[in-house]
Structure 1
Amino acid sequence: MTMKNLLLLLLLFLSLDTSQQFEGEKTENSSDLVRSFRGEQRRTSGTNGTADPSALEELEHLNRSAVEYFTGTLSTRLIPFAYVTAIAFGIPLNGYILGTLIVKVKTFSAAVLYLSLAVSDVLVLVTLTFRVHYHFGGNNWVFGEALCKVVTACFYGNIYCSIHMHMCISIKRYLAVIHPFTYKRLPKHSCSTWSTLTVWAVFFIAMVPELLIRQSYHLPQLRITTCHDVLPNEEKYYTLLLYYRMALTCLGFFIPFIVTVISYVSIIYHLNKSHHDWMCYIKMSTLVFVTFTLCFAPGNLLDFIHSVKLYMSREEYFYIYYNVALCLCSLHCCLDPFLFFLMSRMARSKLHYVTFKGKTISISI
């Protein structure tokens, strides 16, 4: 059975199991929300009896699954422990990669892509330090609304930047193997630079909605202040954010995933037909692709399923599974440096020759 079929069966099992477990927690008056639990907004009156806009910060009436998540071991111990492990290994390794690549940017065309990937990984890990404090503190955010917005936008934006950097790297390798003469003529430094700038610009713009909406709310029921985890079900514009999240998942993951699949499958297929011994590179390409899939696919698939369930049946429990799957995304920040070391070592070990229409050229992949 293929990895794809196993993943689909796992998601089907989770959907059926949790649908029965939380069936009794649905409410008729629940509203569409975006990647979060839902709560009712409590309006506090001012001294003259009118609503006080500055006090619209509290949410109440959480359902049982949300309360169990915020007070349970999963969110207060296991998830932050996974983040701490990723930070401890990922920041030093990516820091070394950055130091190595900075001196090679002008001579190594792919260095721009790898450098951007390392920067994205470091930013993800830095934002995780705030999330670790948040989770270990009982899911209580103490850094204020502004920093909550910045951390949320930076975390998700750089996750998607990392995914697109992998897509760009896979396209570069695809061109080098499948279309070597075209690749040889390309201004590789310019293409890498503009690709990187485009990805960063797109996701900076894409994260603007996360910076505009309120992200932190106080929960009197639990005496904590959450960051991004609970949103009110009364504000109309949060329904629009549901469509925003689904579109962002398609742009940030599904499209680059399809491109990456096509690129690596084509690379492996053509190298297998070659009369040269490419088994080492085929194994490395397979390892890179499998790592990419296992780390990024579960979280993004669960995010999309969560959004669909909110839209179709107002069910929010998949948000718990999504938070667990985010640990795999942080793990990828640790694995990227190792994959870079392996690919760089293999590329330096020998020259690669691609035969095309009776001609042979030397090209480094």
Structure 2
Amino acid sequence: MMGESLYVPKDDDLNCSNIDTLMKKYYLPVAYGIIFIVGVVGNIIAITIYVAKMRPWKSSSIIMLNLAIADLLYVLTLPIFVSYYGNSDSWTLGEFMCKFVRFAFHLNLYGSILLLTCLSIFRYIVVVHPLRAAKVQNKTWGMLACFIVWFILAMEIIPMLPMFRVIEKNETFTCLDFASNDPATIWWYGWLLTVLGYLVPLVIVSMCYISIVRVLASGPHMQSAYRVRARRITVVILLVFILCFLPYHILRTLRVDSQQRKVGCLYMKNIHAAYIISRPMAGMNTFFNLGLYTLAGDQFQQAFLSLFHCRRCFSHPKSSVNMAVIENTASSCR
């Protein structure tokens, strides 16, 4: 039923969008190329550490592992986009691959949002309700949280699949993204994704952050290493929500709205250009995620160094180590 009402852009829409050809040809390949290089190397190392070194697993380790897998799946599709936008901007890989790469982006986007929200909730419990910390750190809770996340994620984004398709115009094939479909079809679905998939998790993360700050601002153990790490993790997660995810959701809504209403060509060009910029920004959450793995605790840092044969850098693996000492010691291992 949804496939029967799929949208083919009008000639005026396509002509108006042609002003963004240079941006798509030069900005997107460079941005996606950088994300690919950093993301592949960083996430393969992170997955290796979590699988081979981080035992026994805690709930946070399982969440982080799922986050790294989601990031790796996404960045592995980026060379396709680099080739697509950098060469002729004509899709040659068929409709299945079009659906796959577009789906992978949204899988990473909303999967990261949900997994980071779970991580914030777990950190909130550890800091604000320390008596429950031992229970929530059990790997069973992490496995349950990830199962719920992937189930909710499937319900959120599977309806997108019929919207990703290849269209032909003037002997050029285009792999449509979500916001380039018929605005009448995707308007309410887009708003539903924005509210339930982004705004609700943002509110939850913000509430966790506020509660953690209040606890850390008072009490006899406000300088404990574990609580300081919890604060840093929550701040980084909040930055990801604001810097990476917020611009994309705002500009995606404006992009759809600009196709639904009668607007001037200049307005449509500006909105489309800004929307193009926001897409790699949303994918750059993988940079912040790599930082989260290090902030999660000294065990990851020790496991990283041991992976590169620097075991001697830590004589007491389970001790709490000052960050400056870690950096100096790591430098001596090179």
Alignment equivalent of 2:282, drawn from 315, 321, 329: 329
Q: Is the 8 A contact 1:124 1:159 kept in 2?
A: no
Q: Is the 8 A contact 2:63 2:146 kept in 1?
A: yes
Q: CA deviation digits over 1:25-57, x for unaligned, max 9?
A: xxxxxxxx99x9x623xxxxxxxxxxxxxxxxx
TM-score normalised to the size of structure 2?
A: 0.77
2:306 equivalent in structure 1: none
Counterpart code for 1:196: C
Counterpart code for 2:16: S
Q: Relative to structure 1, is the Cα distance of residues 323 and 176 closer, same or farther in structure 2, using a 3 angstrom cutoff?
A: same
2:44 equivalent in structure 1: 95
Q: Is the 8 A contact 1:160 1:203 kept in 2?
A: yes
**Which 10-residue stretch deviates more, 285-294 or 121-130?**
285-294
Mapping for residues 240-251 of structure 1, pairs under 5 Å: 240-251=185-196
Alignment equivalent of 2:173, drawn from 225, 231, 244: 225
Q: Is the 8 A contact 2:98 2:165 kept in 1?
A: yes
Alignment equivalent of 1:289, drawn from 234, 238, 248: 238
2:209 equivalent in structure 1: 264
Q: Relative to structure 1, is the Cα distance of residues 205 and 105 closer, same or farther in structure 2, using a 3 angstrom cutoff?
A: farther
Q: Indicate whether 1:274 and 2:219 are aligned.
A: yes
Alignment equivalent of 2:95, drawn from 130, 140, 145: 145
Query: Aligned residues, how many?
Result: 290
Mapping for residues 105-254 of structure 1, pairs under 5 Å: 106-186=56-136, 188-213=138-163, 215-220=165-170, 223-229=171-177, 239-254=184-199
2:219 & 2:63 partners in 1: Cα distance?
Answer: 28
Runs of 4+ in 1 over 4 A off after TM superposition: 229-233, 308-317, 346-349
Q: CA deviation digits over 1:267-306, x for unaligned, max 9?
A: 1121111223258434554344224421222112222333
Counterpart code for 1:86: I
Q: Indicate whether 1:75 and 2:45 are aligned.
A: no
Q: Relative to structure 1, is the Cα distance of residues 128 and 105 closer, same or farther in structure 2, using a 3 angstrom cutoff?
A: farther
Counterpart code for 1:154: A
DSSP-derived class of the 1:80 partner: helix
CA RMSD of superposed structures (Å): 2.8
Mapping for residues 21-36 of structure 1, pairs under 5 Å: none
1:350 equivalent in structure 2: 320
Q: Is the 8 A contact 2:58 2:142 kept in 1?
A: no
Q: Relative to structure 1, is the Cα distance of residues 343 and 113 closer, same or farther in structure 2, using a 3 angstrom cutoff?
A: same
Q: Is the 8 A contact 1:120 1:162 kept in 2?
A: yes
DSSP-derived class of the 2:76 partner: helix
1:232 & 1:95 partners in 2: Cα distance?
Answer: 34
1:320 equivalent in structure 2: 273
DSSP-derived class of the 2:13 partner: coil
Q: Relative to structure 1, is the Cα distance of residues 274 and 207 closer, same or farther in structure 2, using a 3 angstrom cutoff?
A: same
Post-superposition shift, 1:117? 0.4
Q: Is the 8 A contact 1:149 1:210 kept in 2?
A: no
Counterpart code for 2:169: L
Post-superposition shift, 1:346? 8.3
Post-superposition shift, 1:121? 0.6
As a proportion of its length, which structure holds more helix?
A: 2
1:341 & 1:210 partners in 2: Cα distance?
Answer: 34
Q: Relative to structure 1, is the Cα distance of residues 232 and 270 closer, same or farther in structure 2, using a 3 angstrom cutoff?
A: closer
2:200 equivalent in structure 1: 255
1:105 & 1:305 partners in 2: Cα distance?
Answer: 46
Percent identity reads 22
DSSP-derived class of the 1:141 partner: coil
Post-superposition shift, 1:263? 0.7
